[in-house]
Amino acid sequence: MGAGVMKKGDGAGRRRRRRRSQPMAEINVTPMVDVMLVLLIIFMVAAPLLTVGVPVELPKTAATALPSETEEPLTVTITADGGVMIQTTEVPREDLVNRLRAIAAERADDRVFLRADGSVPYDAVAKVMGALNTGGFGSIGLVTDIGGPALDGSGN
């Protein structure tokens, strides 16, 4: 495959000498582009993992996700130890309604997402829901993880 054919009448059997290859004066950017694309993919995958709020064990349900809006949603979290957090700031229970009223006055949307650890009693969740309603938030969405039982006899 790589052999060449010489004619008998050419140069009495002399072989041609190869020229020495000249050093390349150009930069090959293809490997650099490949590395940059790999880094871009890594950061695109890792970026959503960096926006985690307060770590809680959410209960699993068969509900689907709510559509997202342009305004960042307000999230209230009840941790396993019973603490209440607005976004990532811990708030004493006696201050909760006052802070919620102040936040509701600045927001155009009255939607709030309530996240509660699965080990928190329903009584504590209901009290925080009442405080959210008193604070001016009429639309409360309960946040859960997907993959839980459907309770329709389908086996999930």
Model confidence pLDDT, tens digit, residues 108-151:
888 889 999 888 899 999 999 999 999 888 888 888 887 777 77
Burial degree of 153 (CB within 10 A; 0-12, 13-18, 19+): exposed
Q: What pLDDT digit, counting tens, does each position of 25-36 carry? A: 788 888 889 999
- Residue 119 belongs to some domain of the structure: yes
Asked if pLDDT for residue 21 goes beyond 70, the answer is yes
pLDDT at res. 104: 87
CATH code, 106: 3.30.420.270
Q: Identify which has the larger pLDDT, 112 or 73.
A: 112
Helix (H, G, I), strand (E, B) or coil at 86: strand
Owning domain of residue 122 = 54-146
Two tokens at 112? Answer: 């709030």
Instruction: Look at the chain and report how many structural domains it folds into.
Output: 1
pLDDT at res. 61: 76
